[in-house]
Structure 1
Amino acid sequence: MIKVERVLIPVDGSDSSRNAAKYGTQLVNSRNPKIYLLNVWEPITMTIGGEMAEKLRAGAEAKSMAILEEYKTMLEPCSMEVELISRSGRPDYEILNVQDELDCDLIVIGSRGLSVLENVIMGSVVTRVLEGASCPVLVTRNLRVKYLKDACGI
């Protein structure tokens, strides 16, 4: 039997990523499971510098951590160790980097983002993650309630 001990779940605040997080926690089959929640935020452009850039970075990271804390709270009933990771950069690169760094057994990712534009962007992120990951990737899409019925955090 394949052991799934370390699961990476990229999240963005969308319903799709919430459902992926709930579903992904149900796939862990070890005694010491670990869930890594990753949120990637847009880097601050090089044209902005100094104090303003630091304020923007701090604000973006605070927003990212707030999203991650919301997910952690949602998953508390699962009684699993949950680590929060906030990174700045291109989402697909950061997802793949974290997967390699932490030697994750599985990536669980939602297929849709927050808006129509995000759906286009997320679709390409998911495609690049599927192509570049060195572990299995589960893409969740429009999960029905029956799949989430016994998931913790509902």
Structure 2
Amino acid sequence: MRIVFATDLSDANEAAIESRTCLDCLDNIGVTEVHLLTVVPDNVSSGLPGMDAATDAREALAPQRRVFERAGFDVETHVARGTPHRRINGLAERLDADMIVVGSRGEAPLRNRLIGGTVRNVARTAVRPLLVERIEETPDGHAVRKEHLFQNVLYATDFSENAARAYDFFPALTGATERASLLHVGGREDSASMRDAEERLDELASDLRDQMGIDVETSVRSGNPVEEITAEEERVGATTTLIGARGTSRLRRLLLGSTAESIVARGTNNVLLVPPEATPSR
């Protein structure tokens, strides 16, 4: 499996890269090739005479590269200039990457950080599955919010085609996932609709048990999807939320569903966002 790991060279992203547990999680799902990418905005220079911002960034990537190499991954480093989300998604598409990984600390007014708007823009335009890894401040600096990335996966579905595509990503997590929770959040549905949702989740759960040999539980709720998903994350102790993005476009730009966008933008759990299948160019 080949991934693009986007970093802004901050202490926060170093914390994610240096987490031995997170590196083990990537190894457990079959990641062998890591493309480490940092993006230098066009309007950023080093500010030092005779120095080049891209060269500085490439040198700054060296310690992070060594962490991946010591863990046994094949690593290439990339420095690009331009708009971060465009360069991240562009590299992933050019390399035919299996997944993009970005770190997120929430909103902050710092330049060139993979947070807030950048993560949302990556999610809106991604044509590859996107893992948003949550990072938090600690007394000693920064640390990943939840380790064992794929150990306990919460899958949220509305039974749409895009949700089914996210479900189809489960087999890629074999070797890392020990437990899955399947959730459907409906509106003010009648009892027959609720029973139908329960039966459909039960079928998916049985399929997962057969395919992956893991523990699976199901839950059907009614209410606000974002609130119910975040509540379920807490209840089941999920380490990653798996969800599908909505949107179709020949320009390969996603219009995220409000639920997916809110989970990416405001949630505190790691998120694995699976986009719709890209429309072949003509």
TM-score (norm 2): 0.41
Distance apart, 1:103 and its partner CA: 0.8
**Partner AA of 2:101 in structure 1:** V
User: Relative to structure 2, which stretch is displaced further, 7-16 or 120-129?
Assistant: 120-129
- Residue number among 81, 90, 93 corresponding to 1:100 in the alignment: 93
CA distance in 1, matches of 2:123, 2:39: 17
Q: For structure 2, which runs of at least 5 residues remain unmatched after alignment?
A: 136-143, 150-282
Unaligned residue ranges in structure 1 (runs of 5+): 46-54, 149-154
Shift of 1:112: 3.2
Equivalent in 56, 60, 77 of residue 53 of structure 2: 60
Larger fraction in strand: 2
Q: Percent same amino acid among aligned pairs? A: 29
**What CA distance in whole angstroms lies between the structure 1 residues aligned with 2:37 and 2:24?**
14
CA contact (8 A) 1:105 1:136 kept: yes
1:2-151 alignment runs, 5 A limit:
5-21=1-17, 22=19, 23=22, 26-28=25-27, 29-30=29-30, 33-44=32-43, 59-112=52-105, 116-118=109-111, 122-142=115-135, 143-144=144-145, 146-147=147-148
Check whether the contact 1:106–1:136 (CA below 8 A) recurs between aligned residues: yes
Structure 1 stretches (4+) deviating beyond 6 angstroms? Answer: none
Instruction: Give, in whole Å, the separation in 2 of the partners of 1:84 and 1:19.
Output: 18
Q: Give the 3-state SS of the residue equivalent to 1:116 in structure 2.
A: coil
Q: Over aligned residue pairs, what C-alpha RMSD do you find? A: 2.8
8 A contact 1:9–1:24 mirrored in 2: no
When residues 85 and 39 of structure 1 are mapped into structure 2, their CA distance, relative to the original with a 3 A threshold, is same
Higher relative contact order (CA 8 A, sep 6+): 1
User: For residue 26 of structure 1, what is the amino acid of its counterpart?
Assistant: C
Bigger radius of gyration among the two: 2
> As a proportion of its length, which structure holds more helix?
1
* Conserved 8 A contact 1:9-1:20: no
Contact 2:40 2:112 in 1 (8 A): no
